[in-house]
Chain A
Amino acid sequence: MSPLVEVRNLKKHFVLSGEWGKERAFVDAVSGVSFSIFQGETLGLVGETGCGKSTLARCILRLLEPTGGSVLFRGKDILKLPLKEFKAYRRRMQIVFQDPFASLNPRKTVFSILEEPLIIHGERNPRARREKVEAMAEQVGLDPRLLRNYPHEFSGGQRQRVCIARALILEPEFVVCDEPVSALDVSVRAQILNLLSELQERMHLAYLFITHDLAVVHHISHRVAVMYLGTIVEIAPTEELFANPLHPYTQALFESIPVPNPTYKRKRMVLEGDPPSPIHPPSGCRFHTRCPKRMEVCSVHPPEAFSPTPEHVVFCHLYGGTKVI
């Protein structure tokens, strides 16, 4: 089976506007990331603040123009398309944002927010639009009678339902979920996670699910990619990754999650320090400054990929760096 979305060596640098006469600094937000996502699958993308996961997502959707690399959607490189032709792809790939308060225009009714994508993509018949909007509202569990209300009249969970409906009304094949439940309370979070799973089954959606919450990613993903400072350090099927994390960063991440079970005794591996700045990322393996198992080679060469099983890839010098793929 060929992948729905394939990301190859994607790069994004931001130029910091330096003062006159000074050398310009670059933020190395995404530095050479590759992975693929198949139809109907959820790929979880975990990482800490500033690791570049949101930038990566925006580059895939061309909300930001990447500095290098390619994104293939059903085999077609969408980064090379002129923007006019790319619009046809917009309806096939959508995004749900983190903040359900900031991502809805406060001056539009929910109906007009949901109608908007249909208008943009040329649905001229108001009746057809109305029917679609109402059907979609039903699908995400919004009372169609509330469609004439404004976003501020809704709770956080309901607003996130509106955001999901807006993303799905064009019947996309691929949806980026950028921390869609981080702003929600535990009790509401479960509702939205369940909804996303249901919709995935019903509409055969592929998700790129970005989050910093490992429990959430464990719950919803088929495969998980772990990101650190602009690079992917490990990628594997969920069960395997959680059972057998290989990269020291992945291990530390898992060990850091508080477990809601007071009898659980952890083997602590608390990481020292904070993630370094992506303006001057460390040489070699980017994790070496905080890694408890670092070796001399780590600060010199970036690690090569190692695959213990066909679907599990880790970038770490501990495993010899024999290139398998």
Chain B
Amino acid sequence: MKKVLLQVENLRTYLTTHRGVVRAVDGVSLTILEEETLGLVGESGCGKSMLALSILGLYPKPQGRIVEGKIEFEGEDLVQKSEEELRRIRGKRISMIFQEPMTSLDPVFPVGEGIVEVLMLHQGLTRSEARREAIRLLRMVRIPEPERRMYQYPHQLSGGMRQRVMIAQALACRPKLLIADEPTTALDVTVQAQILELIAALKEEMKTAVLLITHDLGIVAEHCQKVAVMYAGTIVEKSDVFSLFARPLHPYTRALLGALPRLDGKRSRLEAIPGSVPDLIAPPLGCRFHPRCRERIPRCSEEEPRLREVERGHEVACHLL
């Protein structure tokens, strides 16, 4: 049995905007075991990125705040930590890579500089040691000619190369947890395949757990052991990947899979989900999916369903089950 690495309990992160309070993360619980890959799927605006940012304490301040909940990482509650303490955790024990590698690399510094800095800060290496280590890391993420690439600027690298640099930087200190927020959404399919393979290989090698945030169910199916499906700030279904794709239980998960054009299936009409994603300022009462759900019963609009274990290791928040 693997040890629990990260345990998020009933987390609520709210953002105050001039339109009202956005309940971006509204009572989320999830667990990541050591060396495990958890896929977090959901559509844009469901709060999945805000959940990731909450773990690292990087949610926008002062608009955002964690109003409730615990984030236990290796037995320590990150919610209670000061900014200074969190800074020592970020990049060292938990790292993150983002969707857009162009904007997450500083355009005025050579790409190797970021890695050198992380190593000097967290590992206490001298500059020349850090440089040597950075070259090794760039070679590890399969960047050709790392000695030369290291001194190039972000705009001189392609999107795929930049994402490799980001990965090298994120893994420089051998973190226990890597949070990858849509790491390949901005990339082409052939490059996406390279990057996903790379993350999978490095994860094996370094024994890192990964929280992979994506909207692409295909990526989840291929790269994750467990999945959590998020809708409008809440988790509606949690399971291991085989059970989820074999028997999706929540109507939203099923609808999502039905709405996907598939290469293997017949090319018939897609099962579209009516309506659009709700506004998180005033989410629907009861089950948040009920206005778009085909199978709703009166209870759905009255009472919020709780996440319950329906089968072994398969949790669903739905009144139908």
* Cβ contacts A to B, 24 pairs, < 8 Å: A155-B276, A157-B276, A186-B215, A186-B260, A187-B43, A187-B292, A188-B276, A190-B272, A213-B261, A215-B218, A215-B263, A218-B267, A219-B262, A242-B263, A253-B189, A254-B263, A256-B192, A257-B189, A259-B264, A260-B257, A260-B260, A261-B221, A266-B222, A274-B161
Task: Give chain B residues whose Cβ lies under 8 Å from the Cβ of A49.
Answer: 159, 188
Interface size, B (range): 35 or more
- The total number of A-B Cβ pairs within 8 Å is 139
Task: Check A185–B261 contact: CB distance below 8 A.
Answer: no
Determine how close the nearest CB of chain B comes to the CB of A200; give it in whole angstroms. 13
Residue among A156, A212, A255 making CB contact with B188, cutoff 8 Å: A212
Interface residue stretch chosen among B92-100, B103-111, B193-201:
B193-201
Interface size, A (range): 35 or more
Task: Give chain B residues whose Cβ lies under 8 Å from the Cβ of A262.
Answer: 221-222, 241-242, 245
A-B pairs, top 3 by smallest CB distance, nearest first, are A258-B218, A219-B261, A190-B259
Q: Does A324 sit at the interface, judged by CB under 8 A? A: no
Bound-state CA distance A49–B242 (Å) is 33
Q: Which residue, of B196, B273, B276, has the highest number of chain A Cβ atoms within 10 A? A: B276
Closest to A51 in B: B188
Task: Give chain B residues whose Cβ lies under 8 Å from the Cβ of A219.
Answer: 261-262, 267, 270
Q: Does A72 sit at the interface, judged by CB under 8 A? A: no
Q: Does B112 sit at the interface, judged by CB under 8 A? A: no
Task: Check A187–B259 contact: CB distance below 8 A.
Answer: yes
Residue among B159, B161, B188, B272 making CB contact with A194, cutoff 8 Å: B272
- The A contact surface, by secondary structure, is helix
Say whether, besides A48-B190, A190-B273, A219-B267, A185 and B215 are in contact (CB < 8 Å): yes
Task: Check A186–B276 contact: CB distance below 8 A.
Answer: no
Which residues of A line the B interface, CB within 8 A?
48-49, 155-158, 185-191, 193-194, 197, 212-216, 218-220, 238, 242, 252-264, 266, 268, 270-272, 274-275
Closest to A191 in B: B272
Task: Give chain B residues whose Cβ lies under 8 Å from the Cβ of A270.
Answer: 190, 193-194, 197
B residues 133-168 in Cβ contact with A at 8 Å: 158-161
Closest to B217 in A: A260
Q: A155-B276, A242-B263, A271-B193 are in contact. List 19 more A-B contacts (CB 8 A).
A: A185-B276, A185-B277, A186-B260, A187-B256, A187-B276, A187-B292, A190-B260, A190-B261, A190-B271, A214-B189, A257-B218, A258-B222, A260-B257, A261-B245, A264-B222, A266-B222, A270-B197, A271-B190, A274-B191
Say whether, besides A187-B273, A187-B277, A274-B158, A259 and B263 are in contact (CB < 8 Å): yes
B residues 172-217 in Cβ contact with A at 8 Å: 188-194, 196-197, 215-217
Bound-state CA distance A266–B263 (Å) is 13
Task: Check B221–A256 contact: CB distance below 8 A.
Answer: no
Task: Give chain B residues whose Cβ lies under 8 Å from the Cβ of A157.
Answer: 276
